[in-house]
Structure 1
Amino acid sequence: MLADRLRLDLSGAETTSGVSAELLDVRASVQALPDGQRELVMLIHWEGFTLPEAARIVGIRESTARGRYQRARITLHAHLRPQGADAQL
C-alpha cells in the first residue's frame, strides 16, 4: 500500500548496506512529482498534517489540494506498484 511505503520512508528504514532500494524508489518518485503535488505529499506524509491543514499552509483551496493530492497518489501508485500488480488504487 502506498501509505505504508511512505511511512517506511519516514521511519528511516535502512539495510546494513545503507538505504534500502525501496526507500530510494519512494524518495525518487516523490521528488519526481510536480512541485505542488510533492509539497502536499510531504506535508501530509512527512509532516503529519491533514489535507485541509496542508491546503491552508500552501495557500490553496481544499478542493484544489484534494485534486492535486489525488493526482499525486495516482502517479506514485503507478511508479511504485510491484510488477504485475493490478492498476486499482
Structure 2
Amino acid sequence: MSSFVKVAAEGRGVPRMKTLYRDEPQTNLEATLVELFDPLASYFYRRLDSSEDAADAAAETIEILLRKRRSIPKAPEDLRPFAFGVARNVLLHSRRSRLRKDAIQVRLKVELLSAGAGISVGSAERATELKFALESLSVKDREIVTLVAWEGFSLGEAARAVKLTPEAARKRYSRARQRLREQLK
C-alpha cells in the first residue's frame, strides 16, 4: 500500500483533501477514493457540528476503505454506495462517542453534587456553565476534582495520581471546589 497522506484544507466552506503519494503510482482505487473525499466531506459536514469533525470523519472513512480494500466491491458503480455505507458507520460511531461524552459530563455533574461541591442540578445551560467552570481550573486542580468526584478516588489516591503530596492535593481540592462554587452561583 502506498503512503497515503491526507491534508485537510478549507475550500468553499467545505473541507477538501489534497493527497500526496510517495514511492508508488496512484492506483485506480486510490484515485476513486480521492474523488469521493469531497462528497463524503459534504455528507459529514451536513451531519456533524464542525467542518473539522467532517474532515476528520471523511479522512477516517477513506482510511477504513483503504485498509479494507479487499472487501470493496469490484464494480465501480457499487463503490460509492459501499463507501457511504462505511461513512454511515463512521457517523454512527461518532454520534455514540458524543453521547458517551455527554453522559460522562452529566455523571460528573451529579458526582460533583454528591461530593458537596454546592452545585445545583439544572438545565443544559447549567451543564455548560459547569463545563466552563471546570475548564477554568488548572489542569492539576481539574484532575484532582474529577478523580475524586468522577472516579471515586480518595484525596490521597488523587494526590499520587497527579504527583502531589496529600496535603497539597487537599488544599488544591478545597480551593478548586471553592472556585467552582463561586463561578456557579
The verdict on a shared fold, with TM-score over 0.5 as the criterion, is: yes
Counterpart of 2:179 in structure 1 is: 75
- Greater Rg by CA: 2
* Matched residue type, 1:23: A
Unaligned segments of structure 1, at least 5 residues: 82-89
Question: Contact 1:41 / 1:69 at 8 angstroms: preserved in 2?
Answer: yes
State the secondary structure of the residue aligned to 1:59.
coil
Equivalenced residues, count: 71
C-alpha spacing 1:8/1:62, structure 2 compared with 1 (3 Å): closer
Alpha-carbon distance in 1 for matches of 2:137, 2:172: 10
Unaligned segments of structure 2, at least 5 residues: 1-107, 113-120
Greater share of residues in strand: 2
Q: Which has the higher contact order (CA 8 A, sep 6+)?
A: 1
CA RMSD between the two structures: 2.6
Aligned structure 1 segments of 4 or more residues deviating by more than 2 angstroms: none
- Residues 10-29 of structure 1: pairs in structure 2 closer than 5 A: 20-29=124-133
Name the TM-score, length of structure 1 as normaliser: 0.68
Deviation readout 1:15-70 (Å, 9 max, x if unpaired): 7xxxx111111111001101111110111112111111101111111000001111
C-alpha spacing 1:25/1:8, structure 2 compared with 1 (3 Å): farther
Name the TM-score, length of structure 2 as normaliser: 0.35
Identical residues among aligned pairs (%): 35
Alpha-carbon distance in 2 for matches of 1:7, 1:33: 19
Counterpart of 1:54 in structure 2 is: 158
